[in-house]
Amino acid sequence: MQKTLLPLLLLNLLLSANAKATSEAQYQPLQPLLSQVTNQHPILQQVLANPEPYRLQIIYTRIDRDTDNNPNLTYYQFGLDDNRYFYPASTVKLPIALLALEWLAEQNVAGLNADTTMLTDAATDWQTAQATDPTSASGFPSIAQYIKKILLVSDNDGSNRLYELLGQDFINQRLTAKGLGHSLINHRLSVPLTAEQNRQFNPVRFVDTNGKLILALPARSTNQQYINKDKPALGRVYISGKELINSPMDFTDKNRLSLTDFDGAIKRVIFPQLFTENERFKLRPEDRSLVLRYMAMLPPDSTNPLYDAKQYPDNYSKFLLFGGKAQQIPEYIRIFNKTGWAYGHIIDGAYIVDLQQEIEFFVTAVIYANENDTLNDDQYQTDEVALPFLRQLGEYLYQHELQRPRKYKPDLSEVSRVTASGAEIE
């Protein structure tokens, strides 16, 4: 009995160690590669020469495939610091969307899926209800439609509705359990509510096409206060209403998502097999395909909603490689990403694929473009510095990837399948 048990215990320990080694990245310095940047990328060169005012953090991940097409990741970082707070803006919408699909899969209720009509009710005079959605084919809101709008144009209302569905306890406890421990989501976006109001969540109903109730959630709340215990403050001064406040702005009650966690959320979607079972977002295959499709889809390619190509061009939310003036993205390039921008922070995390040249890599970066260090004055250098920086960073790493030798070419058929024009979600 003992002789049989010992090898099994050793095997389990080895498997556990291998899984841990896979999911806990060891970062190499990115500086040696970035030191070769020339004046062909002037904004990139300028920021790298003096990165401190920009509070720059970058994660670049190289992907090498083996003979069976299994990916091996090599991580590089510049300025990475999980304890250095930055406001994550809309990047928090990605984990919220993923957790909504995880929650959905756990319900195991007949007739309940991502396309089921989701009706949000109001339990207080300050909460708002949502019973229709003219942008969807059905005319009604659903988890799938909210996620589509979140990933295509960073829709705030869609993310808020999923936040209200899940509640703070589910969101934060699940993120921690997945090893995303430098994350904290505690408020709706672009809605002026108190911390107490953000701890209260609307009633939600799911109904079938005949209006018959499938599942109902009552109004809920939490007594747990999810706050940044390090009490981060940003800026030299800030504007509140029309008043200039001569002190840094307090972000204790604001969302948090470190660059490592944001990057980790993206990698958990693209390569879930590289993470332990507990660390993954537990998505059904059709739900993962939905996320991948909309992470890569460009706004002009959408029919429901239909987006004006002048207001929402191809590169509307594709900052790495294409940030800046409106431009088309070549049909052979696929970018699975999520962006965020607020309080001078511009953030993008992306899995970039060139189907023609058969290359793939990850880049995640945050830059703070706020020369006068004043928050809420709308005097940020987004167009002058942040977007050109991210575009040139993407261009530089893309050129590096084009020249980098690979032992085995990747099989990118899944990328082609989930992003094919007019493809159905399987």
Q: Whole-angstrom Cα distance, residue 118 to residue 385?
A: 41
Burial class of residue 371 (count of CB atoms within 10 Å of its CB; 0-12, 13-18, 19+): middle
Q: Whole-angstrom Cα distance, residue 164 to residue 265?
A: 21
Q: Whole-angstrom Cα distance, residue 58 to residue 418?
A: 28
pLDDT of amino acid 18 = 39
Provide the mean pLDDT of the chain: 93
What confidence category does residue 24 fall into, taking pLDDT thresholds of 50, 70 and 90?
low
Write the pLDDT tens digit of every residue in 135-167.
999 999 999 999 999 999 999 999 999 999 999
For residue 376, pLDDT over 70 is answered with yes
pLDDT of amino acid 424 = 36
Write the pLDDT tens digit of every residue in 276-312.
999 999 999 999 999 999 999 999 999 999 999 999 9
368 close to 54: Cβ distance less than 8 angstroms: yes
Q: What domains sit in the chain, N to C, each tagged with a CATH number?
A: 41-419 (3.40.710.10)
Residues 263-266: contacts with CB within 8 Å, 24+ apart? 263/59, 263/61, 263/349, 263/362, 263/364, 264/179, 264/180, 265/94, 265/95, 265/98, 265/180, 265/349, 266/94, 266/336, 266/337, 266/338, 266/349, 266/350, 266/351, 266/362, 266/364
What confidence category does residue 25 fall into, taking pLDDT thresholds of 50, 70 and 90?
confident
139: left (phi over 0), alpha (psi -120 to 50) or beta: left
- Closest by CA to 89, choosing from 149, 144, 154, 146, is 154
For residue 5, pLDDT over 70 is answered with no
Q: Whole-angstrom Cα distance, residue 57 to residue 76?
A: 11
Q: Give the pTM.
A: 0.92
- Closest by CA to 271, choosing from 356, 184, 360, is 360
Tokens 């190289």 appear where? 62
What confidence category does residue 3 fall into, taking pLDDT thresholds of 50, 70 and 90?
very low
Question: In sequence order, what DSSP letters do the residues of 349-378 get, joined into one string?
Answer: EEEEEETTTTEEEEEEEEEE--TT-EETS-
For residue 61, pLDDT over 90 is answered with yes
pLDDT of amino acid 228 = 96
Burial class of residue 209 (count of CB atoms within 10 Å of its CB; 0-12, 13-18, 19+): exposed
For residue 372, pLDDT over 60 is answered with yes
For residue 8, pLDDT over 70 is answered with no
- pLDDT above 70 coverage of the chain, percent: 93
What confidence category does residue 420 fall into, taking pLDDT thresholds of 50, 70 and 90?
confident
- pLDDT above 90 coverage of the chain, percent: 92
Distance of CA 113 to the CA centre of its chain: 22
367 close to 341: Cβ distance less than 8 angstroms: no
For residue 179, pLDDT over 60 is answered with yes
Structure tokens at 299: 């706004």
Write the pLDDT tens digit of every residue in 69-125.
999 999 999 999 999 999 999 999 999 999 999 999 999 999 999 999 999 999 999
Structure tokens at 340: 């965020």
